[in-house]
Structure 1
Amino acid sequence: MSTLSLQTPDAEKRTASGPARIFRLLLRDPLATLAFAFLVVVVVCAVAGPFLIGDLIEKPNFRARNMPPFSLEQGFAYILGADTLGRSLLARLVVGARNTLGIATAAVLCSLVIGGTLGLIAGYSRGALGNLIMRATDIVMSFPSLLLALVVLFSLGPSVPNLVLVLAITRIPIYLRTTRAEVLEVRERMFVNAAVALGASHSRLIFRHIAPMVIPTLLTIGAIDFATVVLAESSLSFLGLGIQSPQFTWGSMVATGRGYLANAWWVAFWPGLMILLTTLSLNILSNWWRTYSDPQQRWRLELARRHRK
């Protein structure tokens, strides 16, 4: 009995942070589970969908022009209706998901890597370099992000690389300032002082001891910020400064359909609904993950799980 009593808590600790444990806790929250399932469907459609729909997004079908939703006269591909050229809205939503999520993912990764790296340097450096980085960050933050994006895209021209660049630039200060604040706190901990006393180099201190403590926070912020980037990209595409024809995103689909709200509301409704549901699901799931990743808040999920038992 004593052996079992000693081993059982250890086994629970080993599985407490494992993927299976996370998934079980997620399933205990119906809202977070629904958000996770929706995002999985969107990602699967964005990755695999464009290879299965053929030329439905480009081939006009004038017999299905402005076809209302939930009509199967032209097949299941037209279940959500058709646009002004008779193209399947379902197929265009799938391809638009790939473009929208791809641009947002690239922008978040760029801003996370660049902002995190500069934040590590600014937080660890005690000299002029750290001050210079922070002053440059203050300059970027002094401009409204949407206004800065409009100016840059108007100057450089709308394109996918420019769109990713401007979205990343406007989000870098968030990761930089967060990383710097974390580093300023972590570098004063005892294990960092012990590594310094043992003769660890600056690069080893930063990447071996400090960075692993900061990365979980950055990933949580990245999950929350992803929804903001999706909305920013959709806004720029709606204004005509995002991705250009023949490529399209959900935002450009809404812009295309705004002129037909009186007689074909579904052309703008479905991509707008996808933007709403995607950003809402991302916020719900990121809030759940923030609660789980915080040891001082995780007891809420554990308590809810025990109550449901």
Structure 2
Amino acid sequence: MDELPKGFATNNPRPFVQIAMMLWRDKLAFCAAIFISLVLICTVLGPIFMEDIATKQNLRGRNAAPFDWSQNWVFWLGGDALGRPLLARIIVASQNTIMVASGAVASSLIIGTTLGLIAGYTSKTASLLIMRLADIIMSFPSLLLAVIVLYMLDPAVGNLIIVLAITRIPIYLRTSRAEVLEIRERMFVQAARVMGASTNRIVFRHILPVVAPTLITIATLDFAFVMLAESSLSFLGIGIQPPEITWGLMVSQGRPYLTTAWWLSFWPGLAIILTTLSLNLLSNWMRTALDPVQRWRLEISRGKK
């Protein structure tokens, strides 16, 4: 078997290795990626192993102070008003918080992108109707619309995802339409049309891959906004209701104890801040990594030894 040429592994890295190397170049984005990975692990595994611990009441540990190393490790962040460990509850609550945000972003991304592709590449009549729909949705403040709808409907996880997704559709619709209107005039699209390619093939095979990096970057940033919106609705009492928990609901439940037990609202609020900050840092990194013009800033130099 012939040996690989010297330097083959470094000059031709696998895509995953290349992405990891580019991420390592931006230390803030690398730390953000690690934190988001930990949050996702807690989202998947947390409720499986810690749901019983997070819901078990212990009135002797009501509003237990944090950093009491003599207590069980689940009480290192303190206890809530019913003596339930805050660390376990934050880990379990991450599932509902991330699930609502990811569901709303994925739904709005798919629907908005599809409508944007149709509006940007088809007839003017379809484009006009779709854009008027976007204008109608954008005429209502997103949080106000969510408050009105959730006040009328049951504040369940599904309804919360639907409401938040509807309010974010215009973001992806208008962005994808603007991108398509510019890309459809490029030479490779004209060549595909001359060669007899169908409309579906041109849109989904040639135009969508060019638009996707921009939309993915926006979705990463929008994820943080939707998570904050869900936390705000839970804080107002019209989001997910007990016994289900989210980070925003935990902040709301700790509000009456801010002067005596500040940690009840501080730790879930800190989880929201760190997750939002990490998503913003990753969004900035992705904007550079997915742009062929700016990607060289993140590529590791291949100097000779």
TM-score bucket (shorter structure): over 0.9
Give 2:69's match in structure 1, choosing from 69, 72, 77: 72
Q: Is the 8 A contact 2:116 2:173 kept in 1?
A: yes
TM-score by length of 1: 0.92
Map Cα deviations across residues 189-231 of structure 1 (whole Å, 9 max, x no partner): 1111111111112222212221222122211111111111111
Give the Cα–Cα distance (whole angstroms) in 2 for the partners of residues 70 and 259 of structure 1: 22
Correspondence 1:266 to 2:280 = no
Correspondence 1:99 to 2:96 = yes
Map Cα deviations across residues 121-165 of structure 1 (whole Å, 9 max, x no partner): 000112211110001101111111111111111122311111101
TM-score by length of 2: 0.93
Counterparts in 2 of 1:223-238, with a 5 A limit? Answer: 223-238=220-235
Tell me what 2:184 maps to. Answer: 187
Deviation, 1:166, is: 0.8
Equivalent position SS for 1:282: helix
Give the Cα–Cα distance (whole angstroms) in 1 for the partners of residues 212 and 24 of structure 2: 25
Q: Which moved more, 1:29-38 or 1:230-239?
A: 29-38
Matched pairs, number: 301
Counterparts in 2 of 1:1-309, with a 5 A limit? Answer: 12=11, 15=13, 18-302=15-299
Give the Cα–Cα distance (whole angstroms) in 2 for the partners of residues 292 and 110 of structure 1: 25
Q: Is the 8 A contact 1:64 1:74 kept in 2?
A: no
Equivalent position SS for 2:55: coil
Equivalent position SS for 2:292: coil
Taking every aligned residue pair, what percent have the same amino acid on both sides? 58
Structure 2: segments with no counterpart, 5+ residues? none
Q: Which moved more, 1:68-77 or 1:284-293?
A: 68-77
Give the Cα–Cα distance (whole angstroms) in 2 for the partners of residues 298 and 195 of structure 1: 28
Aligned residues: CA RMSD:
2.3
Q: Which moved more, 1:288-297 or 1:86-95?
A: 288-297
Give the Cα–Cα distance (whole angstroms) in 2 for the partners of residues 302 and 203 of structure 1: 35
Give the Cα–Cα distance (whole angstroms) in 2 for the partners of residues 194 and 294 of structure 1: 24
Map Cα deviations across residues 56-115 of structure 1 (whole Å, 9 max, x no partner): 111101121111001134311111100010001011001111110011000000000000
Q: Is the 8 A contact 2:21 2:299 kept in 1?
A: no
Give the Cα–Cα distance (whole angstroms) in 2 for the partners of residues 225 and 115 of structure 1: 13
